Amino acid sequence: MNLVITISGLHGSGKTTVARVVSKAFNLRHISAGELFRQIAIKRGLTVSELSKLSSKNRSVDDIVDERTRNEAKKGNVVLDGLLAGWLVKENADIKIFLVASEKVRIERIAGREGISYDTAREATLLREGLERRRFNRFYGVDLRDLSLYDLVLNTGLLCVEANMQIIKTFIREYIKAYRRK
């Protein structure tokens, strides 16, 4: 079975963590739009927030990330994680998952991951998300608050990682069973 799964959500919702576990559990490749964006920022000597500001005026970085995401979806057998992953490859995606968590939980995760204070993480994240919300609406016509596209929406801040993964893996297994019957 050629499976394409997208994992979307705001920063700190657990996209990459979930995508890594799902890719391993189902023997799929994993591509992270956020990782690609961070790599581009590092290559250009910029912070992610600085690159996000530049990207609000110029689509060139988004175009690089989008093209790679779409190409990987066409190859199949992949888990794609990114804010717009579900929207970018909606025609090619079998399962589209959106992860949510409270602002507090998301900021705590980001601060821990980046080794920065809660306040620094909050300021940078909210700035970045505001820029992205406007950018994605302007360039793609996508409202990140519109979750109607997604097959599963899960609040990762309520349960531990293992419980969240159990829910997601069960959903994917049930989808595969139903798909194979068709």
Burial 91-121, CB ≥16 within 10 A → b, else e: ebbbbbbbbbbeeebbbbbbbeeeeeeeeeb
Q: What value does the mean pLDDT take over residues 48-66?
A: 85
Q: What is the pLDDT of residues 109-142, one digit of tens each?
A: 999 999 999 999 999 999 989 988 998 999 999 9
Question: What are the domain boundaries of the chain?
Answer: 4-181
Yes or no: domain 4-181 corresponds to CATH 3.40.50.300? yes
Answer yes or no: is pLDDT of 90 > 70: yes
pLDDT at 49: 78
Residue 108 tokens read as 């705590």
pTM: predicted TM-score of the whole model, two decimal places: 0.90
pLDDT at 58: 83
Q: How does the average pLDDT of the chain come out, rounded?
A: 93
Around 41, how many Cα atoms within 13 Å sit in the side-chain half-sphere? 16
pLDDT at 61: 86
Q: Comparing 1 with 157, which gets the higher pLDDT? A: 157
Q: How far is CA 151 from the centre of its chain?
A: 15
| Least confidently predicted of 49-53, 60-64, 151-155 | 49-53
Smallest CA-to-CA distance from 92 within 72, 109, 63 is with 72
Q: What percent of the chain has pLDDT over 70?
A: 98
